[in-house]
Each structure stands twice: as C-alpha cells, then as structure tokens.
Amino acid sequence: MPAKDPVETLIEREFDALSPELQRAARWVRSNGPVLAVRSMRTAASQAGVSPATMTRLARRLGFDSFGALREPYVSRVAGGAALPALPFVRRARALQQRPGTDPLAQLGVLQANNVAAVLRRNSAAAIERAAERLLRAERVHFLGLRVCHGVAFQLHYAYGLLCANGALITDLGGTLADQVAQIGRGHVLLAISQSPYTRATVESVRQARRQGATVIALTDNALSPIARDADHSLLFDTASNSFFHSTTGALALVECVLAVVSARGGAAVLRRLRERQQQLRASRAYWEAPRTTNAS
C-alpha cells in the first residue's frame, strides 16, 4: 500500500536513518520532487548521482511499493496544475509562453498567496520565537543572502537595524565575503537565507561560521537543504511560482514574522533604539514631506 503522508514529510522523518547513498537520493527527491512527474527513474537517478536501484530502495524505505508509487503523488500534483519549480529557467519561461488562453497573473497571485500562508503552516510560533530571541541575545548578528536572496537579507537587515544595534549585513562587495565571514565567532549569530538552487558561497559560509563557534539560523525552502542541516535553528518558506523565477514572497513573509516577534519581545531596548532611529531619520529629512503653505491674510 502506498504511504499516506506526503513524500516530503516521509523523507524528513527518515533521513537521518538512511545510508549516505540513500540520503543523496532522498535529498535530490526532496529538492526536485515535482520533476519526478516528467522524469523516468533512470533519468532521475542520473541527475541525483545514484543508481536506479537506489531510487527503488529509497521508495521502499519510505513505504511505497515501487518507484512508480513514489512518483505518483507528483504526477497528480502536476495534473492538478502545480508548478514545476525545479525545471531550468529557459524551459519554464518557454512553457509559460506556450500556454495560450491561460491567465498567468491570476495563477501567480494564487501561488504567492499560498507561499505567504505556508509560513505559519511550516513553522510553529514557538520556532519563530526561539529564533527571534536568539537574535536579541546575540553579541552580533550577521545577515547573509546572496543572488536572489540578497534583497530579502537586505530588507531584514534594514528593518532589524531600526529595532536593534547589533546587526550587520554581509555581502561579497569587492570580493570580501570570506574576510567578513572570518570575523564571525562565539557569541555571534549568522542568519543565512538561501533557496534552491542553493548558492555555494552561502553554504560554505554557514559551515565556516559553525566551525568558528557561531550560532546559525537558516531561512530556507527545505528542511534538508545544505544550510538547514548545518543550522541550530531552521525556519522554512515556500517558493512556488508559475514563471521562470522562484518566488521570494514566502521568504519575505517569513522575515516579517521574525521582525514582528523581535519587536514584541525586545522590551525597553527595542523601544529606545526605535525612538533613536526615528529621531535620526527625522533630523536627516530622510522622507519627503509636502511643503507647508501659508494662507495669505
């Protein structure tokens, strides 16, 4: 009989008990599952870097009768209109162009709303609170997001800076990423953001920060992503999109949840910092104001 739980849940539950070869296959399926709907077992195995027999063994370890039974839930999702987030960008863009009569904006709006709703479905309030409290206790908080995740990291860093004075944004400006990561140590927190396909420099920075004694908080799309496996705290978001890009709507919604808890749990120190920053912004005339007019007498 086929397993009743979603494949993703089964993989996350069984992952640590799998052999290294099965883990390699499981990680690929967890990150690329929807592609199984349009891939043969041999093709999937080749892309995962394992043998076809390994894919069969994985299916059985997860409670399915065969690889075909493991593949079936993904076939059903695609038949129901689910996106294929792991397809190459060009193929996804071409598929969007070749759907006459469809309303891509309406479908994207639904997917974006689902990404936002998934934040509180995939993360407990307690998990978000633990991460926020760890930021508040840190000597220094380093925010890292590269490529598509840089904008998310920048927004988190900017808003966090209105509430707390211990944050710093890590970038690769001038090729100095390694120099900045080398300064992360005990008592510090590295909050890293990455989604599939995971940026190699982010993964390596997370591992280095861990070796240097820092606490790692990962904001990512998969509990088995390389930054989640090396993190002390992991918070998850969805990235579904019907266009060529992977949506960052879910990541931004998750960031706003973290910020809300930081502001709620930060006490007098957060209120004092916010008051100071508001005064600085007002003094520097950071925001446009309509000129005052005087009525002639």
Q: Are residues 48 and 173 in the same domain?
A: no
Alpha carbon distance 24, 55 (integer Å): 10
pLDDT attached to residue 2: 44
Most confident by average pLDDT, 3-17, 109-123, 179-193, 278-292: 179-193
Q: What percent of the chain has pLDDT over 70?
A: 89
For tokens 């007098």, the residue is 268
In a domain, 229, yes or no: yes
pLDDT digits (tens, 9 = 90+) for 203-216: 999 999 999 999 99
Confidence of residue 91 (pLDDT cuts 50, 70, 90): low
Q: The pTM is what?
A: 0.79
Q: How far, CA to CA in Å, does 175 sit from each of 135, 136, 171, 252?
A: 27, 29, 9, 26
Is residue 106 classed exposed, middle or buried when 0-12, 13-18 and 19+ CB atoms within 10 A define those classes?
exposed
Q: Are residues 180 and 38 in the same domain?
A: no
Confidence of residue 78 (pLDDT cuts 50, 70, 90): low
Alpha carbon distance 129, 249 (integer Å): 21
In a domain, 296, yes or no: no
pLDDT digits (tens, 9 = 90+) for 132-160: 999 999 999 999 999 999 999 999 999 99
Q: Check residue 42 and give left, alpha or beta (phi > 0: left; psi -120 to 50: alpha).
A: alpha
CA torsion through residues 94, 98, 103, 107, sign: negative
Number of domains composing the chain: 2
Domain around 57: 7-88
Q: Which residue, 53, 88, 123, sits at the end of a domain?
A: 88
Q: Are residues 142 and 217 in the same domain?
A: yes
